[in-house]
Amino acid sequence: MASGSKASLVVAASVAAVEALKDQAGLCRWNYALRSLHHRAKRSIKEVSSAQQAKRPSRDQAAGAVERAASKRTEETMSRIIYWDAWGPKL
Give the residue-averaged pLDDT of 5-31.
75
Q: With a cut of 70, say whether residue 21 has pLDDT above it.
A: yes
Q: With a cut of 70, say whether residue 67 has pLDDT above it.
A: yes
Give the residue-averaged pLDDT of 27-47.
76
Band of residue 1 on the pLDDT scale cut at 50, 70, 90: very low
Task: Tell the burial category of 90 from Cβ atoms under 10 Å away from its Cβ (0-12, 13-18, 19+).
Answer: exposed
Half-sphere exposure of 49 (CA within 13 A, CB side): 6
Note the pTM of the prediction, 2 decimals.
0.32
